[in-house]
Chains A and B, each alone.
Chain A
Amino acid sequence: MTKPTASQTLGPFYNYAFLRPGEHDLTKGGEHGPAITVTGKLYDGEGNARRDFLMEWWQADASGQYATTANAPFRGFGRCITQPDGSFTFRTIKPGPVPFNAGQGSNAWQAPHAALGIFGPGLMRRIVTRIYFADEDNSACPVLSLVPEARRGKLIAKGDGSGTYTLDIRMNGEGETPFFAE
């Protein structure tokens, strides 16, 4: 068995290399559910909004299935770079609930969520968090319940009732977003 190759920082000079317009829009292959927008700002430990961080979004479709081919109607993946004001935006649909540990004896379901990976200058490797939705039933999610209760709200985006959800992410310091071990 070989060890995984070591991670190295993304650095600041990458976005010419692989980001294309519209990669933040998961609905561009056609809408397979009501479209929503998820937006927020990314902050560091001093409360500075941070630009040029790469944010990657991975979610199931509305029925809770993850895409398994490049030609899937809904591919579930998007990415964007934080803007000069630290903001990020994804256009997508609401994911369905997904199994917790299918095949491993658990019948529990995870509440609708997206996995979010963050790379950037000053991050030696990816940090990973999740985004849940305030208008879903999050009370029985076995992953959310791993997060100390006082911090769970930092993972839950609040809707405005017309399809826009907002959640800021703080990488470090007061009000820090919960991050998961990889």
Chain B
Amino acid sequence: MTRIYEPFGGPTQPDLRTKAYFRTTLTAPAEPLIALPRTVTETSGPVFGDQDLCGVGVDISNNNTVLGSLMVLAGQVLDEDGRPVPNALVEVWQANASGKYPHEVDSRPAPQDPNFTGAARLLTDAEGRYKITTIRPGAYPVPNTGNWWRPPHIHFSLYGDAFASRLITQMFFPGDPLNDLDGILQAIPDADARNRLIAKPDSSLDIHEHALGFRFDIVLRGRNETPMVD
């Protein structure tokens, strides 16, 4: 059965060129994007295995030695038909509890955490599920923007079953007042699409008196063509 990839964009996706995020004017193509029929180049995609995990685990809390509020984060990776996407490579990264990334480019004078690596890597299981343990990241100011603070967020990189289903996104936390002020989250015009980037508290994932549970499901591009009825 053929996989269908609808054109990407519209109000459920951020515009490439958005006033809310100042750098986009220099990096968004100005010429119209050229419509491309889906060929085997777009409908095929890289396949990953355990050897690609490179020993990076699913515990960003580093066995509960990282400072911050401990949380369990889990969800399901689905396609546009709601079918699970198994064996998807998921890469996760985030700031520490003080909003500092373990990265040389982050020069803000906030404390590093020596136990914090800030990254997880996994393959989804047969039901498309993933589960990591981490800490709630801190907010941080974006330099030279008039005191714009990024709300606490967790970055996700996913490879589905095709080059066309590749996605990089960010997950936010429910109820954070910075969400409504964030130029990156608010660059998505559709309110429902923004809300889908906000994790949901999930007590079934809680570890009693130890860690709070959150759920974040992700939908990758692609659905199956409706079968023709003879």
- Interface membership of chain B positions 197-230, coded 1 if the CB is closer than 8 angstroms to chain A and 0 otherwise: 1000000000000000000001111010000000
Q: Shortest Cβ distance from A46 into chain B, in angstroms?
A: 6
Q: A8-B185, A68-B44 are in contact. Are A126 and B166 (CB under 8 A)?
A: yes
Whether B92 lies near A178 (C-beta < 8 A) is no
A180 and B36 CA atoms in complex are apart in Å by: 6
Query: Which of A16-24, A33-41, A85-93, A160-168 has 4 or more CB atoms under 8 Å from chain B?
Result: A16-24
In whole Å, how far is A140's beta carbon from the nearest beta carbon of chain B?
Answer: 14
Q: Name which of B2, B14, B48 has the most chain A CB atoms within 10 A of its CB.
A: B14
- Determine the chain B residues whose CB is within 8 A of the CB of A50 once the complex forms: 27
**Which of B2, B5, B18, B30 has the largest number of chain A CB atoms within 10 A?**
B30
B47 at the interface (CB under 8 A from A): yes
Interface membership of B110, Cβ < 8 A: no
Question: Is B7's CB under 8 angstroms from A45's CB?
Answer: no
Instruction: Name the distance in Å between A52's Cβ and chain B's nearest Cβ.
Output: 7
Assembled-state Cα–Cα distance A147/B35 (Å):
9
**In the assembled complex, which residues on chain A have CB atoms less than 8 Å from the CB atom of B44?**
58, 66-68
- Contacting A at CB under 8 A, from B42-68, are 42, 44-49, 51-52, 54, 56
Q: Is the CB of A17 within 8 A of B13?
A: no
Q: Most chain-B CB neighbours within 10 Å: which of A6, A123, A151?
A: A6
User: Is A173 on the interface with B (CB-CB < 8 A)?
Assistant: yes
- Main SS class of interface, B: loop
Contact of A73 with B by CB under 8 A: no
- Chain A nearest CB from B108 CB (Å) reads 11
- Asked if A70 and B52 sit within 8 Å, CB to CB, the answer is yes
Chain A residues closer than 8 Å to B30, beta-carbon distance: 45, 172-173, 176
The number of chain A residues touching the other chain, given as a range, is 35 or more
Is B180 an interface residue, CB under 8 A from the partner? no
Contact B29–A127 (Cβ < 8 Å): yes
- Chain B residues with CB under 8 Å of A178's CB are 31, 34
Kindly provide the distance from the CB of B42 to the nearest chain A CB, expressed in whole angstroms. 7
28 contacts between A and B (CB under 8 A): A1-B223, A2-B80, A5-B197, A5-B219, A8-B197, A11-B155, A14-B93, A15-B103, A16-B101, A17-B91, A17-B92, A45-B30, A69-B47, A98-B39, A110-B41, A123-B16, A123-B27, A124-B14, A125-B13, A125-B16, A125-B168, A127-B16, A176-B30, A178-B31, A179-B29, A179-B34, A180-B35, A180-B36
Q: For residue B46, which residues in chain A have a CB less than 8 angstroms away from its CB? A: 58, 67, 75-77
Chain B, residue nearest A58 (CB): B163
Could you say which residues of chain A place their CB within 8 Å of the CB of B193?
Answer: 3, 6
The answer to the question of A159 belonging to the interface, with a C-beta cut-off of 8 Å to chain B, is no
Q: Report the Cα distance A179→B37, complex, angstroms.
A: 13
| A171 CB within 8 Å of chain B | yes
Q: Which residues on B sit within 8 Å (CB–CB) of A52?
A: 105
A13-B93, A179-B34, A181-B7 given. 20 additional CB < 8 A pairs? Answer: A3-B219, A4-B167, A5-B220, A6-B188, A10-B168, A16-B103, A16-B118, A48-B26, A67-B47, A68-B47, A99-B39, A99-B40, A122-B27, A124-B24, A125-B13, A125-B14, A125-B16, A178-B31, A180-B33, A182-B8
Contacts of B91 in A (CB 8 A): 17-18
* Residues of chain B from 76 to 132 with CB closer than 8 A to chain A in the complex: 78, 80-82, 91-93, 95, 101-103, 105-106, 117-119, 121
